[in-house]
Structure 1
């Protein structure tokens, strides 16, 4: 352990709070703890009310207080209430107050939600059934951690906050590009709508892919697309796959060639069904039977954008549909505006530019998340010290 670092227990940083709501006139916000998003309203997290109708026994969670789930803490369910609102949590949670005056609570948040601490929680959990193992306060408080001196804690918090800000900026840019793309598709198609309609079946043919099993996949070989790769795709076009089949499967596979659309015929929810991506790779690609190949006479990038338009999505399936799969007959019957070839190319090119910008922003965000993870691992372990000269920068920013 480097000079200035000290070994402390979590019980020296926190003290538990068992204050209950008791009798109340107005119902407070009921919180839950997400492993990714921290403290958040429970009905937002679960998308429905899960709290008891009687809250008098629920624990009070003040703003800036800490809380963790005794059975899910090793998955990341520990956080500080930074919502700015006091509320309550289920009695199953452990509520704590930060009491250390010699340490930075924001540094504590970075440490307690780190990958290393997740492993520590798991190692110290009690019980024999995996999903029901718990970490009670009596065990949590005795966990020993190494803390750097306060000035170094400040440096680490500031540096990670800067990376977080840069990541958030990139994520917002990606969302803006996606929103602009959604709006632009309908506006551009409507602007070039001649009033004529034609069915997708008149413009091309639909063929369902061929079924493969997990054991068929190999590390490299014939590229294969399945529905999951389509609805998680950011762009309107694709040139690479993440799944492969043996080359010997080429003869019996159903292949998409360059320019064909590959359409998700199923999905985890209705919104995923019918998403399309234009295959523009040099080599043909196999398509799984949870997707369709659409061989058509449209500009490929435009065709992909068309499938994201309101004109197509509104006919794909009712918004409240429970249908898990689209049929080729439904796809073929969808009517679309007649748009000239030059306009198709212009729309496709614009969509491609927006896709490129969104992908670049998402890539930047992903790289910054990786940077954050690597930085945090090194800095929390004490393997590397941010130089004292960083304190001058902190002072200048504060001024």
Structure 2
């Protein structure tokens, strides 16, 4: 990310605009069916019953808008922002942090963590040997250019619009693929302009056609 800061923007560390949350489910307010894991490209996903622990008492609380991540897998993208309208819980081993909404928009931060600068930072941060662990004390040092809130909101809106366009294009591509497959199957089995067909072990084929062994 460029060192030059646009007018009205400021250089900050993540720790300046977000704080780690260590709240736990000590009084069992959150039921075990609200236990989620974080998976790359899937976000916060309900945990299967067979991988749940015996108790959710020590699980960490994830409030709406909070971020949660696996400290051993954040370098491959296992981090997500909660868009749920109620509290969730995650493994005690996870890290949870809350953005300061008076300084940074959560959606803007969610896009920021998909940037090349973020990927480069988490690729070099953390403690450990073979399996690097990146706790919030490390992540808090991520330094970036922060726009004013109104500009953050506008940037998020633009990027959301791009995402919608990509999703719509993907749907069109998939539908086109299905149409192509249907045309391909039709041409390969019924040819062009044939009106009379005969039944074979692989289905109908034009009369005059033959099967090749």
Tell me the TM-score normalised to structure 2 length.
0.76
Aligned residues: 195
CA distance in 2, matches of 1:63, 1:52: 23
Report the counterpart of residue 136 of structure 1 in structure 2.
135
Q: Structure 1 regions of 5+ residues with no counterpart?
A: 199-335, 344-399
Given that 2:30 and 2:87 are in contact with CA atoms closer than 8 Å, whether structure 1 keeps it comes out as no
Given that 1:79 and 1:113 are in contact with CA atoms closer than 8 Å, whether structure 2 keeps it comes out as no
Higher CA-based Rg: 1
- RMSD of the TM alignment (CA)? 3.0
CA distance in 2, matches of 1:56, 1:178: 49
Task: Kindly state the Cα deviation for residue 163 of structure 1 after the two structures are TM-superposed.
Answer: 0.9
Say yes or no: does 1:112 pair with 2:117: no
Report the counterpart of residue 40 of structure 1 in structure 2.
45
Other structure's SS at 1:117 match: helix
CA distance in 1, matches of 2:142, 2:204: 67
Report the counterpart of residue 165 of structure 2 in structure 1.
166
Which residue of the other structure, out of 197, 200, 213, is the alignment partner of 1:197? 200
Say yes or no: does 1:50 pair with 2:51: yes
| Higher percent of residues as helix | 1
CA distance in 1, matches of 2:30, 2:38: 25
Say yes or no: does 1:30 pair with 2:41: no
Task: Kindly state the Cα deviation for residue 147 of structure 1 after the two structures are TM-superposed.
Answer: 1.0
CA distance in 1, matches of 2:81, 2:165: 22
CA distance in 2, matches of 1:18, 1:139: 16
CA distance in 1, matches of 2:74, 2:81: 13
Other structure's SS at 2:205 match: coil
Task: Kindly state the Cα deviation for residue 35 of structure 1 after the two structures are TM-superposed.
Answer: 2.1
Q: How does 1:324-363 map to 2 (within 5 A)?
A: 336-340=202-206
Given that 1:104 and 1:153 are in contact with CA atoms closer than 8 Å, whether structure 2 keeps it comes out as yes
Other structure's SS at 1:339 match: strand
Given that 1:107 and 1:156 are in contact with CA atoms closer than 8 Å, whether structure 2 keeps it comes out as yes
CA distance in 1, matches of 2:22, 2:14: 17
Q: Structure 2 regions of 5+ residues with no counterpart?
A: 190-195
